[in-house]
Amino acid sequence: MTSTVDSFAELGLSETLLKTLSEIGYETPSPIQAQCIPALLEGHDLIGMAQTGTGKTAAFALPLMEQIDVKVAKPQALILTPTRELAIQVAEALQSYAKNLPGFHVLPIYGGQSYTIQLKQLSRGAHVIVGTPGRVMDHLERKTLNLDSLKTLVLDEADEMLRMGFIDDVEWILERTPAQHQTALFSATMPEQIRRVAQKYLVNPREIKIKSATATVAAIRQVYWQVSGMHKLDALTRILEVEEDFDAAIIFVRTKTATVELADKLNARGYAAAALNGDLNQQMRERVIEQLKSGALDIVIATDVAARGIDVPRVSHVVNYDIPYDTEAYVHRIGRTGRAGRTGNAILFVAPREIRMLRTIERATRSPIAPLTLPSRADVTNKRVTGFKDKVAEVLNAEGLDFFSNIVAQIAEEQNVSAEEVAAALCKMAQEGRPLQVVGEDPPPARAFERDDRRPAAFDRDSRKPRSDERGERGDKPRYEDRPRREDRPARPAPAGDMVRYRIDVGRDNGVEVRDIVGAIANEAGIESRFIGRIGLYDESSTVELPAGMPAEASNALKRTRIRGVPINLRPDEGRPAGSSTGERKFAGGGERKFDGDRSKFKKKTFG
């Protein structure tokens, strides 16, 4: 199987899934999808080596869904992911693929989410479980998750799970799965431990390796706008009006329907726009491109497939109105501008829930994408007025104004007003349905999800590293040991209150690090990491300072918590064990961190 496949219909998928893919805007398989889907449909175990952002979720999810029997309300597929963010993302993708599959149920399970909610949903029955290793282990031990009907097991981002210390948990789970099932392992790299796991648990696997398209165009300015507080269409028109050196643009959307709808709306707002999608025949497609070249059109709204091969010198801007599904699509899209040494501009619209894809694109292109501030009403007004003045100046420099000067003088005399007032009336008439002054209120500025403007990160027990719902993407923040020393960072104000020292039954002998303890406590007890005090590592145990007056729910959750598969057995510390302590975690600025007893500092656990 080669990667040059023109449609999903060539891969052997059912008509139901093909219909769904068409409805949600998938047109052509990515290389990883083109090679993995047929192999998995044939029942082979599989090792897929591909970077995040290459479309691998669909590569394993689509063939997986072909095996699901919705009449059997038992877990038939298990997908293990390293973090809760990825678990949620994969579950959402599966749900979208099940659009035309009534009765299908996918359930994400991960640490930090209420057991009660998960138990209730498991009891109702789920066809696919997407989970992090720690929480899946917990449910298997509690016998609240039964894998007897398992047909497919997927290890997603296996190298990440290894790096985060989950590989033993993964093997523990693999040993408790039925002997007869299909296994797919996806990893960006193939370290020896991952190779060993593959050799031990996969049967004659097919190996597929995809090299990600990482090239980018240095001449292209790349920026993004955070979708918030204003409709995307209103934001788009503001941005287009204020952008410098705007000549022509290609705007990318995901579906054929969206190309037509957006083109109609832009035409209604005075732009010369046209749709370009797969429904157009070759003659109509060529006509649209020729109009774009000649200046009869300024904007083309296109899908990825329809825009292939477009090389129009005057395209100064590419707008990703809908964020692409993978990094290859992004690279191909922005390649429509800045061609042959010309400069270009690429603008990306990003919703908060799409921040993971933004960070993936940045890594794939090896280029940071800067935030774009939405132009204000004043910015748009000034731009329109400047353009209007330029047009007036051109007319003033022309000859033959005597006739019109006489008309102005007559109007001024007849209406008993000044020539300036007549000119003002003429200016108002000349707006041509596009007022020079933009009225209304500007939306409040969106909270940036930039690296330097984030709330203190919470920690994820299952990922053993910081997370932020606004950041979303793993890897944006340096690993704990790579961060600036605390004495080099500005101290944060310490709340007032008392700390209690506890002992836990994991230490250096278990391979535990400070970040493992912080991550487990932060998410299982819902305590913000900044309220976790000093941590001392010993050979067979560790100590940790926590705020006095912990709610019973948080305390009980910690008593059930495991770190690297070992129950921590949290209890008040009664003395310092023999041996030196290492890895002690201190607060910024030195001294003790206090807690004011306010239980609102304990994060409320909610689903999602």
- Could you give the domains of the chain? 8-209 (3.40.50.300), 220-376 (3.40.50.300), 378-429 (no CATH), 478-601 (3.30.70.330)
Mapping DSSP onto H, E and C, the string for 384-445 reads HHHHHHHHHHHHHCCCCCHHHHHHHHHHHHHHCCCHHHHHHHHHHHCCCCCCCCCCCCCCCC
3-state SS class at 499: strand
**pLDDT, position 197:** 93
- For residue range 59-74, what is the model confidence (pLDDT) as tens digits? 999 999 999 999 999 9
Residue recorded with tokens 């596009």 = 434
Percent of the chain having pLDDT more than 90? Answer: 30
pLDDT exceeds cutoff 70 at 461:
no
The tokens for 383 are 């731009």
The tokens for 459 are 């920690």
Q: State mean pLDDT over 128-148.
A: 93
pLDDT exceeds cutoff 80 at 79:
yes
pLDDT exceeds cutoff 60 at 284:
yes
- For residue range 6-54, what is the model confidence (pLDDT) as tens digits? 789 899 999 999 999 888 777 788 888 999 999 999 999 999 998 766 7
The better pLDDT of the pair 581, 127 is held by 127
Residue 140's pLDDT band (boundaries 50, 70, 90)? very high
Give the span between the Cα atoms of 84 and 528, in whole angstroms.
Answer: 17
Residue 396's pLDDT band (boundaries 50, 70, 90)? confident
pLDDT exceeds cutoff 90 at 580:
no
Distance of CA 213 to the CA centre of its chain: 19
- For residue range 337-380, what is the model confidence (pLDDT) as tens digits? 876 567 889 999 998 878 888 988 888 888 889 998 887 777 77
Give the span between the Cα atoms of 277 and 260, in whole angstroms.
Answer: 9
Residue 176's pLDDT band (boundaries 50, 70, 90)? very high
Residue 432's pLDDT band (boundaries 50, 70, 90)? low
**pLDDT, position 486:** 36
Residue 304's pLDDT band (boundaries 50, 70, 90)? confident
pLDDT exceeds cutoff 90 at 200:
yes
The tokens for 162 are 């290894």
